[in-house]
Chains A and B, each alone.
Chain A
Amino acid sequence: MNFEYAPAPESRAIVDIKPSYGLFIDGEFVDGHGHSFKTVNPATEETLAEIAEADDADVDRAVKAARKAFRGWSRMPGKERAKYLFRIARIIQERSRELAVLESIDNGKPIKESRDVDVPIVAAHFFYHAGWADKLEHAGLGANPQPHGVAGQVIPWNFPLLMLAWKIAPALACGNTVVLKPAETTPLTALLFAEICQQADLPPGVVNIVTGAGGTGQALVSHPDVDKVAFTGSTDVGKAIARAIAGTDKKATLELGGKAANILFDDAPIDQAVEGIVSGIFFNQGHVCCAGSRLLLQESVADEVMAKLKRRMGTLRIGDPLDKNTDIGAINSAEQLARIRALAEIGEDEGAERWSPPCELPSSGFWFPPTVFTGVSQAHRIAREEIFGPVLSVLTFRTPAEAVEKANNTPYGLSAGVWTEKGSRILFMADRLKAGVVWANTFNKFDPASPFGGYKESGYGREGGRQGLASYLKAGA
């Protein structure tokens, strides 16, 4: 007997999207002087708002405002800075539904994820770092660690508000002031966050938000008065930033791409592992730098696992991001959709076997079905390049040593997953995997107390935890 779920849309009445937005500089919204651009709802292609573009002079104004505010903010006692961060955290919780709905509209991610994952972790980051603000002398960086100054931060479109929190919360707790550039396709929650800063009475200039595309980001990171650069995004842009700041005394942390191996041994808890594979690659439409995009299956259980995985993929619900029962939302942009399509076609051309469950995709908006490729080898491009979409490449291995070798045989090294009921094997693997995060019998779990960051071309520096504070502090005398 079929059990059809009726539509259960979250109301968008709670958000008030203005027709146009300016830049947030020195505590107020001001006009930008570049060419304004539109942000669209990727699920419907409807235009949401007109967004100002910051040109070089606007960026300069924002950096000056941050520099001016730095004096007062960095000298403020930690316990006073903490009060502002606690206040911001509480307002985020109070306005959580508004933030979640706005994030889903602008980004395309399902409301169950923005509501149950993104926004709660955003609040947690502010609470966690608020707690550090008056305890920085215990961070292991000497008795009197000092902030760098003005932080120029550039964030991606996959977790717009969460990446903002990862950047702003530690920077502010440590006494830095910030100029942040959200991604071109997802500026709305950052601009709502600017309103929250006003609501929390944050001193003007401590947080500045400049919107725009690559040019704005470039102007920001190469501004001579920016002391610290923090970037999350693609490896190509990360390399360009590293080149741009080479030879300066700017500090930088880069959190870049990934091609994580999710390794399943024959003694794994199979049903939970299948859930971990699904959340590893289909969470947030696979727009996750640490996505488990390479599934390494022990050959002896490969057929059994694939059968279970395909059955499970058949129950995924794709559609309206605001429907509370949606598991997979929209691809964030036409550009990203084109890239996913191109790589999927290359996968087929190179001889891998492509499979998606039968599912109807909405007629407007940007959509890609959950897809799995079997018969993939290390030589295939879909096993090497980051697709950043709901596309899983499946490879097999025979022994733990082979699993390690294949998992590490990538220019990236952001995360990895290990599935086995054998505790000693988890330790064996974690010891040898060259990845910043190794999840055991779980995947895509984030906590503000846990440092996150990559090896090799996945970047350098850590965010979160005590280690993350080191990115925003100079060792004290």
Chain B
Amino acid sequence: MPATASTAQGSASSPGIGAYADVTASEASLRRFLHGLPGVDQVGAEARAASLGTRSIKTTAKAHALELAITMVDLTTLEGQDTPGKVRALANKALRPDPADPTCPSVAAVCVYGDLVGSVKEVVGHQVNVAAVATAFPSGRASMEIKLADTRDAVAAGADEIDMVIDRGAFLAGHYLQVYDEIVAVKEACQRADGSHAHLKVIFETGELQTYDNVRRASWLAMLAGTDFIKTSTGKVQPAATLPVTLVMLEAVRDFREATGVQIGVKPAGGIRTAKDAIKYLVMVNEVAGPDWLTPDWFRFGASTLLNDLLMQRTKIATGRYSGPDYFTLD
């Protein structure tokens, strides 16, 4: 029997994000801080991700992982052709992913454009979260007023979670403080009348940031600005989520908690289509960030077709047989 040694946890008395106030005091200090983070060696990061991908998850471990992965799915449709009817169908699937099996858990959330939040809400109520993309998704190219109005509309319509995009142009031009201020402002716009706030996820579009150094810097930037989650991609740019990009982000949230005591979630989105891939991500979460992240509160999959493969594999484990795709719903 392989014995896994326990993982060291973060310190109990952490200084909190306040200790970093001087970092975000000026453009210059923020740049110095982000550029002072340790670099990421591309070859090494990709090799580490690949080696974690060779873990062999079988029998009971596989059953556990599939169940967990289903509860972590943000079931997503982000198309120009989305209609209230389409998103209602998706919402029903989110509640009962496998109509043949009432023991199958619901997914974490349904993710749609802001104007369709109400239609989803009618179906799911408070049983499944509704996530809305905002801030001129997917390009992020609009004025600040429009981005904030976009966010406030979605929150007012009942969105539990807001998935915002950063201004990649500003980031790549080195205007880090502008990106920071935007995230802070959107976080404020997530505030509801009763004082609670919609959960904020910040999308980097890592396929446009391109380098792992940029991914690490963007992660720290968003975490310092107070995001609840960091998310890889919109799904509209290739490559979307990859294992090495997610590795770098998991290292960032792990280090951030160590430094501040604040835990941040991670959401790879786009391109994760098979149960086998999803399990690789869970292994990586387990071994890089640690088991504390292995819940839907701290890790999500942004996906659409992934869910049916998870269901098919789950049924295979329960029955010993593969059933055809016609036994699972297309929504």
Contacts and interface: CB of A to CB of B under 8 A. Distances in A.
A310 B3 CA distance: 16
A320 interface: yes
A357 B294 contact: no
A319 B40 CA distance: 31
Interface in A434-459: 441-442
B47 A313 contact: no
A325 interface: yes
Contact of B39 (A276, A310, A318, A421): A421
Interface in B45-74: 45, 47-48, 54-62, 64-65, 68
A357 B6 contact: yes
A232 to B, nearest CB: 26
B294 A318 contact: no
Contacts of A315: 4-5, 7, 287
B56 to A, nearest CB: 4
Given A1-B68, A3-B64, A6-B61, A325 B56 contact: yes
B19 interface: no
A215 interface: no
Contacts of B47: 275
B282 interface: yes
A122 to B, nearest CB: 19
Contacts of B39: 267-269, 421
A5 B58 CA distance: 7
Main secondary structure of the interface of A (DSSP, over half): loop
A319 B2 contact: yes
A370 B10 CA distance: 22
B2 A7 contact: yes
Given A1-B291, A324-B54, A269 B286 contact: no
A97 B54 CA distance: 16
A100 to B, nearest CB: 13
A472 to B, nearest CB: 32
A460 to B, nearest CB: 31
B92 to A, nearest CB: 27
Contact of A358 (B5, B55, B251, B283): B5
Interface in A353-377: 357-362
Contacts of B65: 3
Contact of A269 (B1, B6, B44, B295): B44
A310 B8 contact: yes
Given A1-B295, A3-B294, A441 B4 contact: no
Contacts of B4: 4-5, 315, 317, 359
A213 interface: no
Interface string B249-260: 001000000000
B44 A272 contact: yes
B27 interface: no
A424 interface: no
Nearest to B57: A5
B6 A3 contact: no
Nearest to A112: B54
A357 B6 CA distance: 7
A317 B38 contact: no
A270 B38 contact: yes
A421 B216 CA distance: 15
B2 to A, nearest CB: 4
Q: Residue among A4, A326, A361 with the most chain B CB within 10 A? A: A4
A318 B56 CA distance: 15
A313 B5 contact: yes
Contacts of A361: 3
B61 A3 contact: yes
B41 interface: yes
A5 B45 contact: no
A318 B2 contact: yes
Interface in A277-321: 307, 310-311, 313-320
B1 A320 contact: yes
Contacts of A80: none
A323 interface: yes
Contacts of A320: 1-2
A442 B39 CA distance: 14
A317 B3 contact: yes
A3 B41 contact: no
A442 B41 CA distance: 9
Interface of A: 1-8, 112, 116, 267-273, 275-276, 307, 310-311, 313-320, 323-326, 357-362, 421, 441-442
Given A6-B61, A421-B41, 12 more contacts: A2-B294, A3-B65, A6-B60, A7-B2, A313-B5, A314-B7, A323-B2, A324-B55, A325-B56, A358-B6, A359-B5, A360-B3
21 contacts: A2-B291, A3-B61, A3-B282, A3-B294, A4-B4, A6-B59, A8-B56, A8-B57, A8-B58, A268-B39, A269-B39, A271-B38, A273-B44, A317-B4, A320-B2, A325-B56, A358-B6, A361-B3, A421-B39, A421-B41, A441-B41
Nearest 8 interchain pairs by C-beta:
A272-B44, A357-B5, A319-B2, A8-B56, A360-B3, A269-B41, A324-B56, A272-B41
